Amino acid sequence: MFKSKSPLFVAASLVAAFAGSAAVAQTKAPERDYTLAYNVAAFTDYRFRGLSQTSFNPALQAGVDFSHKSGFYLGAFGSNVSWVKDFNGATKGSYEIDLYGGYKGEIVKDFGYDVGLITYQYPRNNSGAAGTPGAGAFSNASTNEWYAALTYSVATLKYSRSFGNFLGNINSSGSQYLDLSATFDLGNGFAVTPHLGRQTIPNQGGLGDYNDYSVTVAKDFGNGLVVSAAAIGTDAKKSFYTDTGNRFLGKSQLVVGVKYSF
């Protein structure tokens, strides 16, 4: 005949079982080797290094990013554009597709680096082709660059350099862009990002060189939704950066956008 267990023993057993269950529940899931993220966005204008890529018209964009825990990453980005036709005088080239890859790491705590390659492709563009307006003044618009960046705390300094012609400019291999930016968390999902950049394009008589600057305020609503407004300006030369429709692509403007990541 079995003796009944004391209430104290039963209580102790229940406590031990509960503690064991809680410990299992709190065990972290194994870290994934990689992440795959997608995004879609809409902006009132597509600005690249301060210059309008859509002649001040709206842009629809999408992207995908693969990141491995080792620091290796790959990505792709797509958008509509109009400058290949409006500025370079092509009859084809209404879309941009960027492909990029690189490696990110940390040197010491809060001090990281990023190195990689990117290609800006404008499928089927005929910039500079015989028989198009401006023939002989431009080469193919597609461009390749390598880049390197250092990040300390909230600030990032990035250097990009083209190998081959830059966005259709003749004899422009070695074009450079220096970008300094920082992102400050204001709380409640708000962040502000000031930016300053410097673009230089060789063998253009200095006409293609300029500075661009911007301040972006963004609100993260959670669940991947971010709304932003950016005040953008440049000191680009009108004589060089005015398109065939007499639009100065570097004029100051407020650009509003919404982006959803998932």
Confidence of residue 26 (pLDDT cuts 50, 70, 90): low
Outline where 157-262 has alpha helix (H).
238-241
Q: Which domain holds residue 170?
A: 33-261
In a domain, 4, yes or no: no
In a domain, 106, yes or no: yes
In a domain, 41, yes or no: yes
Residue 84 confidence (pLDDT): 97
Are the C-beta atoms of 232 and 252 separated by less than 8 Å? yes
In a domain, 55, yes or no: yes
Percent of the chain past pLDDT 90, that is, above it, reads 84
Residues in the chain: 262
Percent of the chain past pLDDT 70, that is, above it, reads 86
Domain count, the chain: 1
Q: Where does the chain show beta strands of DSSP type E?
A: 34-43, 47-48, 51-52, 59-68, 72-80, 95-108, 111-121, 143-152, 155-162, 176-182, 184-187, 190-200, 210-222, 225-234, 253-261
In a domain, 13, yes or no: no
In a domain, 184, yes or no: yes
Are the C-beta atoms of 64 and 35 separated by less than 8 Å? no
In a domain, 11, yes or no: no
- Which CATH number fits the domain that encloses residue 81? 2.40.160.40
pLDDT 10s digits, 153-186: 999 999 999 999 999 999 999 999 999 999 999 9
pLDDT 10s digits, 31-60: 789 999 999 999 999 999 999 999 999 999
In a domain, 190, yes or no: yes
pLDDT 10s digits, 235-257: 999 999 999 999 999 999 999 99
b/e code 103-137 from CB counts within 10 Å (16+ = b): ebeeeeeeebebebebebbbeebbbbbeebeeeee
pLDDT 10s digits, 106-150: 999 999 999 999 999 999 999 987 445 444 579 999 999 999 999
What rounded mean pLDDT belongs to the chain?
90
Residue 230 confidence (pLDDT): 98
Residue 129 confidence (pLDDT): 77
Residue 184 confidence (pLDDT): 98
DSSP letter for 28, please. P
